[in-house]
């Protein structure tokens, strides 16, 4: 992807402003107004956390119907799809994804595996599914709905990153490298925002994902989530895609191995976190 040319002076000024913003926002002290705003945001989330109030559960219901729907040239459902625990077994599967699959000889996340099952199991043309990978106004996403349904089957369970196979270990190492890799016109990396305590973007706190523990657990265990600001359920694929877009990197391809590698690393950081999905966020 060719990026637009930016004058050196403009780029330098933009980077200086961005660096200053991040530095200023990285101070852990909060004003009373910020404290009050965060409390109100959290109160709003709690009001919508009940299944009868969280619109994300509508995606779960749609995903359940899609899971059982017969489609493709083979006219079969996804109920025979093996997500790691055996064909059709969903309880606990999401908690162990991404993982290596012998039949594909690849490490796959949930959405990669679903696309593989659609192709191999159903004989289903996934072109339209990929084109609608992210939902929009009046346009649902099969991938978001199916991921919400599958992930919900692991709610209450612990994140268990799979790091036994050589390719799983390799993906974790690649993901860590990608987390710290700087690039794009702003020379940002994931670590620019997520490797220090107390950083913020406006009223939004930025979790430090560079260390294992409670913060990483709470972050990764809450995806997929219903984004109030977007009126849509979003998956980790969308979150990472949007992060790269905001960093002004060329956006990654949907279902790419690079995003899976980054997810493996983040799941490693979040090992032991209790899954509660779909959650609800700003």
State the catalytic residues: 243
Q: C-alpha distances in angstroms, 265 versus 200, 204, 221, 258, 278? A: 22, 23, 14, 11, 21
Angle at 147 between CA 239 and CA 240, to 5 degrees: 15
Please name the residues in contact with 92: beta carbons below 8 A apart, sequence gap of 6 or more: 85, 153, 154, 157
159, 155, 161, 87: which is closest to 117 by C-alpha? Answer: 87
Q: Is the separation of the CB atoms in 275 and 94 below 8 Å?
A: yes
For every residue of 196-214, DSSP letters joined together read STT-EETTEE----SS-SH
């Amino acid at each position: 992807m060719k990026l637009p040319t930016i004058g050196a002076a403009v780029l330098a000024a933009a980077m200086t402003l961005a660096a200053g913003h991040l530095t200023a926002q990285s101070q852990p002290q909060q004003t009373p107004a910020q404290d009050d705003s965060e409390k109100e945001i959290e109160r709003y989330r709690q009001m919508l956390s009940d299944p009868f109030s969280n619109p994300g559960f509508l995606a779960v219901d749609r995903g359940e119907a899609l899971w059982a729907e017969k489609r493709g040239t083979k006219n079969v459902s996804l109920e025979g799809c093996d997500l790691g625990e055996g064909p059709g077994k969903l309880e606990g599967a999401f908690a162990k994804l991404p993982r290596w699959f012998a039949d594909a000889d690849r490490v796959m996340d949930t959405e990669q595996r679903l696309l593989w099952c659609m192709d191999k199991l159903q004989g289903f043309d996934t072109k339209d599914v990929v084109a609608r990978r992210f939902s929009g106004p009046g346009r649902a996403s099969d991938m978001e709905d199916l991921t919400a349904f599958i992930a919900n089957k692991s709610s209450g369970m612990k994140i268990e990153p799979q790091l036994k196979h050589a390719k799983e270990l390799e993906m974790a190492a690649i993901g860590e490298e990608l987390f710290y890799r700087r690039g794009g016109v702003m020379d940002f990396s994931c670590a620019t925002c997520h490797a220090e305590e107390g950083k913020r973007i406006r009223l939004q706190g930025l979790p430090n994902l560079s260390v294992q523990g409670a913060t990483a657990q709470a972050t990764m265990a809450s995806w997929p989530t219903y984004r109030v600001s977007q009126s849509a359920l979003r998956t980790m694929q969308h979150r990472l895609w949007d992060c790269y877009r905001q960093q002004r990197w060329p956006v990654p391809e949907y279902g790419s191995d690079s995003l899976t590698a980054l997810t493996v690393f983040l799941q490693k950081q979040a090992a032991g976190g209790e899954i509660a999905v779909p959650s609800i966020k700003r």
